[in-house]
Amino acid sequence: MTQDRIPLAGVIGSPISHSRSPRLHQHWLKRYALPGYYIPMEIASADLESAVRSLPKLGFVGINVTIPHKEHIMSIVDLVSDRAALIGSVNTVIFRADGMIHGDNTDGYGFLENLRAGAPDWDPKSGPAAVIGAGGAARAILASLLDAGVPEVRLSNRTKNRADALQSEFGKRVQVYDWVQAGNMFEGAKTVVNASSLGMQGKPEMRIPLDGIERDAVVTDLVYTPLETPLLAHAKSIGCRTVDGLGMLLHQAAPGFERWFGMKPEVDEALRAAVLR
């Protein structure tokens, strides 16, 4: 690539119009006065490989990947990072100068950075974590909580065999609770995470009994529309430290931006405001 070629990045998915990533990256590009553009691109599954392979030729230095391409893209990239392999999906792609296409997953990193920023005294080793959900996001949460040193992860999901599959993959530190007994997971849990879509605008409400959540737990929700979900509102009302899900979206974007545009960006209030606007 010539020196003066303006670097391009973007997000691919289908649908893509709802994505907040363009606002986020454009905010950083403007803030750091860097040359570059970040573009949302709707790409159908059948066109994924040819589209991705043509992007470096157009000047792209990398892309984010969202639903429904996060798993499929793993078979297209040349290299998959260890953490992406563990999570089983790729959300960040780097088109390297040597022509190799590198796939990474920053969801677990974003999740932990958000918890550490929102609850600085959060200690993963202080006790069990309770996780609701066993979809794609839950895999990243499980991998990162175990890596951070949580002694036990309790997991409950409406479709139990998805939770069982995660348990067989991630091992004995994961304990599966039946969906009808999900409320029992909270006893003694120091970290509580909603990694399901329950509580999201337009989705069903969470009916799990929350009264077992203890005051000294740090409670976080991956859902960020609304910012204060019923789970977070309940946790706040009993005195828990709570961390909303928007921060995870912001933090997971930082490693990609740094690789593509050469500057480690800051996650701050101005960024939150730009994304919420």
SS (H, E, C) 62-80: EEEECCCCCCHHHHCCCEE
Q: What is the closest distance, in whole angstroms, from the C-beta atom of residue 194 to ligand NAP in the complex?
A: 8
Q: What is the closest distance, in whole angstroms, from the C-beta atom of residue 3 to ligand NAP in the complex?
A: 35
CA-based torsion, 230, 119, 104, 98: positive or negative: positive
Instruction: Return the active site residues.
Output: 70
- Per-residue contact track with ligand NAP, 146 to 185, x per CB under 6 A? -----------xxx--x-----------------------
Per CB under 6 A, which of residues 34..63 are in contact with ligand NAP? none
Q: Are 240 and 215 in contact (CB under 8 A)?
A: yes
Per CB under 6 A, which of residues 244..273 are in contact with ligand NAP? 245, 248-249, 252
145 forms part of the interface with ligand NAP (CB under 6 A): no
**Whose Cβ is closer to ligand NAP: residue 83's or residue 162's?**
162
Of all residues in the shown chain, the one whose CB is closest to ligand NAP is 135
**Whose Cβ is closer to ligand NAP: residue 231's or residue 249's?**
249
Q: What number of other Cβ atoms are within 10 A of residue 16's Cβ?
A: 18
* From 22-30, 40-48, 197-205, 210-218, span contacting ligand NAP (CB under 6 A): 197-205
- Per-residue contact track with ligand NAP, 201 to 240, x per CB under 6 A? ---x-----------------xxx----------------
What's at 207, amino acid-wise?
R
How is residue 97 written in tokens?
Answer: 């100068």
**Whose Cβ is closer to ligand NAP: residue 8's or residue 157's?**
157
**Whose Cβ is closer to ligand NAP: residue 219's or residue 249's?**
249
138 forms part of the interface with ligand NAP (CB under 6 A): yes
90 forms part of the interface with ligand NAP (CB under 6 A): no
Burial of 6 (0-12, 13-18, 19+ CB in 10 A): exposed
Residue 75's alpha-carbon distances to 1, 25, 101, 102, 103, in angstroms, are: 26, 26, 11, 11, 10
Q: Mark out the alpha helices in the chain (DSSP H runs).
A: 21-31, 48-54, 82-87, 107-118, 136-148, 160-170, 230-237, 246-261, 269-276
Question: Is the backbone peptide bond immediately before 255 cis, with ω within 30 degrees of 0?
Answer: no
136 forms part of the interface with ligand NAP (CB under 6 A): yes
> Which stretch of DSSP H or E encloses residue 209?
none
**Whose Cβ is closer to ligand NAP: residue 16's or residue 248's?**
248
Residue 180 CB partners (closer than 8 Å, separation 6+): none
Q: Which of 198, 217, 218, 267 binds ligand NAP (CB under 6 A)?
A: 198
Residues in contact with ligand NAP by the rule CB under 6 A: 107, 133-138, 157-159, 162, 195-198, 200, 204, 222-224, 245, 248-249, 252
